[in-house]
Structure 1
Amino acid sequence: MPLDATAAAQRFAALDLLSTLAVVVDAQGCIVFANAALEGAVGLSRRMLEGAEFAPYLSAPSLLRAGLDTADGQRPSYAAMSFDTGLQRPAQDPLFVHVTVTAVEHTDLRLIELWVLEQQARQDREERLVEQAQANKELVRNLAHEIKNPLGGIRGAAQLLEMDLESKELKEYTQVIIHEADRLQSLVDRLLAPHRHPHQLVDLNIHEVCERVRSLVLLEYPQGLKIRRDYDISIPEFKGDRAQLIQALLNIVQNAAQVLSEKVCTGDAEITLRTRVVRQVTIGRQRHRLALELHVIDNGPGVPDHIKERIFYPLVTGRDGGSGLGLPLAQTFIQRHHGLIECESMPGRTDFRILIPLP
């Protein structure tokens, strides 16, 4: 029995919570329900859309009609067809989308979901970052343990050898071995640091973290650098590890300050700390109703093209003398808060965006 508008609105109300565009059609392809995201995309109200055939809203209507014919509502729900096309919008340019057609089980209805291709690419990038960080963490952890044991043996052997040497010149060589072993030990300790300390959650305000980092960096750069505040003071407190969040943000801001060295000398170096609340955010395939969005924006030269895709890899750096550990450690600390860091960069503007779910 066909659903009336009220029954459809009640049955499919959950689709309004999605940021993806969604529409339910009957076997003839006429709209039974359109979610709020689709209303906003096409600029038409749900009432105006209901009852109209949906295929003409797509640049390739024949593909949709084929998908509707393929879907079988008597079998368990599955994506019968998917394709890329344009979503036609009155008085606006088409919106390029990825479309899937899914049968609604035991009915003649079809669920059509449309992902804006830019949004889909972003979600894919976020998933890659999460997977990359997890793989990096395991690799670094295992590698550090493999290095640590023989390193202690090398240092101990050099010390014993030095005790038996009488020549001052030869002792200089053992000192070089001991010094380099200590340097490598320090590097290994930094690689293992995120895994050694327990996650200590307290109620915190993100702006206290921002102000702490801001004061630390300005102590290091008292002249030539401006760190601007652009805070949304309505952001609620949340459970977090204060020390880890300070360290993560400090690594990013210090990294930005270091690449601004030339502008610091001329007095026009600028970093902006911006906080916002965003709604209906997907982080690593997990949907969150609310999330903190913290931007660290600088007016520096940008991330070199050859390392843009690898800046969160351990030991990758575009700066002479850099360790390549600051950003991977920051990513690890933010992921321990179920969040993510991503970066968009071009000459004159680099934006590190930190996302952390809010309760």
Structure 2
Amino acid sequence: MASCYQRAHPPNGVGGDWFDVIPLSGARVALVVGDVVGHGMDAAATMGRLRTAVRTLANLDMPPDELLAHLDDLVIGLMGAHDDHEPAAAGAAFLGATCLYAVYDPVSGRCSMARAGHLPPVLVSPDGTVEVMDLPAGPPLGLGYLTFESCERELTEGSLLAFYTDGLVETPDRDIDEGIDRLGAALAVPRPTLREIGRGVVDTLLTGPPPDDAALLLARTRSLPADRVASWDLPSDPAAVGTARTAAVRQLTEWGLDDLAFTTELIVSELVTNAIRHASGPVSLRLIRDRALICEVADGTGTSPRPRHARTTDEGGRGLMIVAQLAHRWGTRHTATGKIIWTEQPFVAEP
């Protein structure tokens, strides 16, 4: 990742352009860029609210189009909620705000994205081919009468994605289409690092003080090697729990992660048992070795589990509490066919 932010000149107070990079479950990452109309405290406050809302919604692992729909509902509510301490002008600051939200999965190499009135991202393939990605524009936030649509693309490893705001490509003497063409040409110039590519883009497009804030977020795609992902399909049979434990421990030994074998065995046992006992449909187990050890158990039921405090006389009900204690993070994300319960365990530091 690399980013550049150029303030408008003359400075009219802080602006409303923003971007974010949000780690998600399953080694995935969310890339976000947005633009709030205007400058000053209202624009800055609006930008802060939107950025916080996107981070909160991202933690729920929603698809891009669904996340933007919830963000749109939130904006509509904030536009109508004002009192003596928050005048109507503050709510009006949301009107015309735009956002683009993308999720990249390094295991599958697929990127899904949706936009709310924002400019489309630019993709530069490893061979230097430049493409302005074609995805439905969607309405700006706060209108509420049109839907958002996601599109998904498989990206070659080493592809360059560029997310930006209109202040980078539009100037009084240059329209947006010409600016996007110049952006693509500048991105295709080979440079050693993403930061140098970003600086080259800014120097090419902003030859003088920009009249509006300009933001640029660059991301180079990578793929997890196949030998860092292991998965197993499991029958809906209680005997499969032992098979899953054995397979997980064997895989950790191959990865040299024996120090995580005990906790992973317990996590796998609890999650697979719950899936077989309380869910339906096919059950699968997946381990991912990324910056942490990720364990995922998928089933065909959309109901999310929740931890509860078991009474001393209860024979069950402690599984998720145990998982929460053993894992650094855990959660649930929904899929087209059911759900995935996931955990993350950090690697033990070398002494």
TM-score range, shorter chain: 0.3 to 0.5
Q: Max radius of gyration: which structure?
A: 1
Q: Which structure carries more relative contact order (alpha carbon 8 Å, separation 6+)?
A: 2
**Larger helix share, 1 or 2:** 1
